[in-house]
Amino acid sequence: MADAADLTATELLAEYRAGALSPAEAAGAVLARIERDDPELNAFCLLDEETTLDMARAATERWRRGATLGPLDGVPVSIKDVLLTRGWPTLRGSRTIDPAGPWAEDAPSVARLREQGAVFVGKTTTPEFAWKGVTDNPLTGVTRNPWDPSRTPGGSSGGAAAAVAAGMAPLALGTDGGGSVRIPAAFTGTFTIKPTYGRIPHYPASPFGTLAHTGPMTNTVADAALLLDAVCGADGRDWSSLPPPDVVFTEAAGRDDLTGLRVAFSPDLGFADVDPEVAAPVAAAAEVFAELGAKVERADPGFGDPVEAFEVLWFAGAAKVVEHLSPEERGLLDPGLREICERGARYSALDYLTATARRMELGRLMGLFHERYDLLLTPTTPIAAFEAGLEVPPGSPSPRWTGWTPFTYPFNMTQQPAASLPCGFTSRGLPVGLQVVGARHADALVMAACAAYERARPWRRFTRR
């Protein structure tokens, strides 16, 4: 049998049902993979082997008795280190947080996985307070891309993406405030979806406000559907959380035929510069949607780059994150984070409301756009993964990460569901991501379209060279 660390969650569950593999064995395989590969990749900032094995042994006994707690019982999962996890510190990549806690509460998504008997493998790395689109921080250093460890896995959920790609946990919880699950999915050849805002409850409330979503990160669409079904639904701690969806995502992901779907393909959103080595596989992927029966037209949504408005919202949020810190503690911050916090603190209420008005106009435009088109296809990122340890690629005209992520942050502003799925490779063998965007609340349609593409063009997963 293949190494259990290389099995998807769906495959693991099939093995459990057949009695061919136990959760304890799966956890052991994942921990062995982490021991082998994580010293190079640095995807985990916290490991607790004893707790992981205890959870796995309990799941094994439940499977033996036929008394599983839920569909994900015994499946290994990693948790991004911005999501509260009872009993484990959530340090957010910062030297300014006291590890002593107390850490007595789970975030809603974490609590639901615990209730279902999922096996917690550890906490994955993030840039400090999840502030940028790559993953390095003053506390744990640089996280690296399995496809090429000299390059970044993206961010801010870079540790989660690297862990999934490398077989260090088939499921991961990440967060996305401006592209933070989609960027690393594109860079690591994995799948993710940023669901409609509120679909997965979020607590504590993000200082970045209603830009931040929680999302699943996996190797397949089917696995993401399993994870979505487990963690969606209202939570009283999140006033903006949505009620349970009226669809089962694992059923929605069974769709093969896209006949009748109206699909817009925008290779550059009308304003972005895209590397030809990214543009070509994305354009080829759009043709696959036509092969599957969709009516695909080239069409831009009709808005200019909203980066200035996004930066007001994002940088002001960052300033809120650190407002309680002393001057000495601020000296411990990532220098880039410290710079945007200083800038964010200078914005006025009028500046913030002006940016909010720009956001609302963007939402109006996309609402009308989706009256004409069911889905929008774009590149996830305009470039492939670049050197690890840098915020921007060499030669970037912008000093900030927002300068090279034009396809992701607009759809945080509009709160729409947006997925990233692998669609090819550059000449250097680096993954390329296709972004699939749906209207608000059309999460199931996005998942169905991605699943149909996956079946038509199965992607090559990472294997250790």
Catalytic (active-site) positions: 80, 156, 180
Q: 378 and 437 in contact (C-beta within 8 Å)?
A: yes
Q: For residue 372, give Cα distances in angstroms to 218, 261, 297.
A: 31, 10, 11
Q: What are phi and psi of 414, to 5 degrees?
A: -95, -5
Residue 243 sits at the vertex; the CA angle it makes with 237 and 247, to the nearest 5 degrees, is: 140
**SS3 of residue 262 by DSSP:** strand
H/E element holding 191? strand 191-194
CA distance 344 to 338: 10
| 21, amino acid identity | L
Sole residue written with tokens 């696995």:
223
How buried is 305 (Cβ within 10 angstroms: 0-12 exposed, 13-18 middle, 19+ buried)?
middle
How buried is 463 (Cβ within 10 angstroms: 0-12 exposed, 13-18 middle, 19+ buried)?
exposed
277, two tokens? 């080595």
DSSP bridge pairs for 191: 218
Sequential DSSP letters for 120-144: EEEEEP-SGGG-SSS-EETTTEE--
H/E element holding 377? strand 375-379
Number of H helices, E strands in the chain: 15, 13
CA distance 376 to 286: 10
Sequential DSSP letters for 394-450: TT-SSSSGGGG-TTTTHHHHTT--EEEEEEEE-TTS-EEEEEEEE-TT-HHHHHHHH
Q: For residue 219, give Cα distances in angstroms to 99, 239, 378, 388.
A: 31, 31, 20, 22
How many other C-beta atoms can be found within 10 angstroms of the C-beta atom of residue 3?
11
CA distance 214 to 197: 8
How many other C-beta atoms can be found within 10 angstroms of the C-beta atom of residue 256?
12
Phi/psi zone of residue 87: left (φ > 0), alpha (ψ -120 to 50 degrees), beta? left
DSSP state letter for 458? P
